[in-house]
Structure 1
């Protein structure tokens, strides 16, 4: 396997140490927080506007999407991902998942952690894709709203199901049919990202916080409540608490949710809207309760037993990071074989045990239990049927809605 490229100045053991230090207040930046910061920028600029689901035609050099597939002649694949988003061996150097793939197929993997932000990455590849050129990457992992943008532009290749038997069979029903890629024609989820409620038991004096209503109305929490600077999660959870569905909310529904949150801002119930810094604030108790991403909660709980979480009865929001093959990729079939490899339960369990977000692979529980029984029983990683039933995704927005919703949310959050 080709040498793995690591972020400058940090070895895998150091990255692991960073990951485990989050709850101790030594670092506030996580991969998920960086990703969400990029999402906020895209929303502000109307970046999710051109969605196929909204009937907007593709743009760019879609005629040049397919290149000659050199997979048979060149036994390699170039895979771009986020930092700390794939398992590392005990020596801090090996990538067990990729090593096993190479041993089985003979396909070498050049794995790079060069995605730090959705918009930043889009800027790297936009000119090449628009010109019908190879980006030098065969497989990328991006967030659903950015996937929607790239698919609508015609810059992502359709996947060949013949090369994806495990992925096709094992994909969890929860993730099978997003409105931005119906039937998963262009993408497969790498992981699910739930937004739930987290709280510090010391700061709440042992009380559970389990609803947006509690966050916004409980006087004992006044000034110690946080919401995310990610519009879809914050407004989506508020809509659910109001009995509305984010999947089909109207502009009036959105305005009502923003007005409700504005009341929390004006009354100083909400301390602030957070991006990468809620982790430290929650761990220290400066925030008694907040909206949080589940993977962060799992990691925080490993170091701080005072951190609790709740999945609201009204429902919770879920987004996804997704595997896609960009246009002009030279090794499409090899990339598809790697996707399929990651959907085998034993492999998926190893990845889930490392990254701690929702595993999109059915049948993984038994394999994950062999690694860590607590993780296998954690509904933030393997949601049970009841938890899955409460999962919701924000609907696709057209260009006008995206700009208007982003403007109103920016006015609310101070972004």
Structure 2
């Protein structure tokens, strides 16, 4: 999903936060008065939102931390409270997902048996959504209950999941774009290609990301591979060889999670892969020191979507659909995007943002222009076997 760092999947890098956690901890410092260090320390807390007097209507929503607008003074989720008041449906909102694999392991037995998972709706990342859709573990949405979703979904989000091209089994929630970042003053020529990353003056001060989907996606794209199209082991191995050489020659300093932002701030890194939301916030805080660019050759992006497990009863499924439809109102979506800072899937949210928060109307982390959108690439369907193989070879190179 324009966030700091990324979600760390299947690797053991201690101390990393999800990109949701990182962006909130920075964002709230200036805009809502949160204390950065305090948020990082509190990131493990699970928050829930519900209301009394809502009758017997109730659903449970499992989501990532900081992926819904939150009022720290009132300690409430304003848009969720609005939904509860309008619909009479109470929502038990749980920030229980901080890793796709870990959370999947928690509910996989119930999913396989079509039993209730403890959640009526879940916000997985879309590569995981592709898996659970393929296994038949989630229910098809009733289009008649979510007219705003089909009316207002922007094109970027319509076909992200290869085995759900019509969005029958998922409703998009947000996305984050990966790109090249450099110190504007110290790297005046910029970094636009893979060769630029290997410039002699940058040796030992270049960072990449520690999740293979993003680092390898950028490398393969830079080598002319369309990661959304036909590619396989030869293309991956060629990219891995490039990475191996770059690390062995000392050009790449490290492969990092969200801590790449700290290394940029300290000037230990002059160039890196990174997320547009991070750089926008860092520039706002520290004085426009960095440039972010989705390269012309393209780059991967991360996205999340809502799904309804098979174990969710029909009645509660309809209530989830009412919730999903509510969040595709452009004004509601603008409120969420103004807080979260990721790419919103809702058409009309940019216009609505003029009243919600005018300072965010031109924020390309939320509303990327056509040029940026054309460069963002989603992966083709990657099988479980491929994922294990590619993760293993990447981590072996990193010494994990």
Which residue number in structure 2 is paired with residue 275 of structure 1?
257
Match of 2:292 in 1: 309
- Of 341, 347, 359, 2:326 maps to 341
Asked whether the equivalents of residues 223 and 271 of structure 1 are also in contact (C-alpha less than 8 Å), the reply is yes
Check if 1:350 corresponds to 2:323.
no
Alignment partner for residue 360 of structure 1, among 345, 362, 370?
Answer: 345
Q: What whole-Å deviation, never above 9, does each CA across 1:292-347 have from its counterpart, x for those lacking one?
A: 12333333233222132112111121121111111211311111111111111001
Aligned counterpart in structure 1 of residue 269 of structure 2, from 284, 287, 293: 287
2:366 counterpart of 1:381: yes
Unaligned runs of at least 5 residues, structure 2? 1-22, 44-53
- 1:372-410 Cα offsets, whole Å, 9 max, x none, are 334221222111112111111122122332232222222
Name the counterpart of 1:411: 396
Report the Cα distance in structure 2 between the residues aligned to 1:181 and 1:135, rounded to whole angstroms: 22
Counterparts of 1:293 and 1:198 in 2: how far apart (Å)? 8
TM score, norm. by length of structure 1: 0.80
Q: CA RMSD in A?
A: 2.6
Tell me which residue corresponds to 1:9. none
| Aligned with 2:233 (options 251, 257, 262) | 251
Q: Conserved in 2, the CA contact under 8 Å of 1:283 and 1:307?
A: no
- Counterpart in 1 of 2:121? 139
1:281 and 1:31, CA in 2 relative to 1: closer, same or farther beyond 3 A?
A: farther
TM-score by length of structure 2 reads 0.83
| Aligned positions of 1:13-412 closer than 5 A | 19-20=27-28, 74-89=56-71, 91-177=73-159, 178-202=161-185, 204-215=186-197, 217-247=198-228, 248-305=230-287, 306-330=289-313, 331-412=316-397
Runs of 4+ in 1 over 6 A off after TM superposition: 27-32
Which string of whole-angstrom CA distances, capped at 9 and with x for unpartnered residues, describes residues 39-64 of structure 1?
A: xxxxxxxxxxxxxxxxxxxxxxxxxx
Secondary structure at the residue paired with 2:138?
A: coil
Q: Would the alpha carbon gap of residues 212 and 360 (structure 1) be closer, same or farther in structure 2, given more than 3 Å must change?
A: farther
5+ long unaligned stretches in structure 1: 1-14, 33-71
Deviations 1:47-86 (A, max 9, x none): xxxxxxxxxxxxxxxxxxxxxxxxx983222111111111
Q: State whether residues 358 and 380 of structure 1, in contact with CA within 8 Å, keep that contact through their aligned partners in structure 2.
A: yes
User: Is residue 61–residue 122 contact of structure 2 (8 Å, CA) maintained in 1?
Assistant: yes
SS at match of 1:246: coil
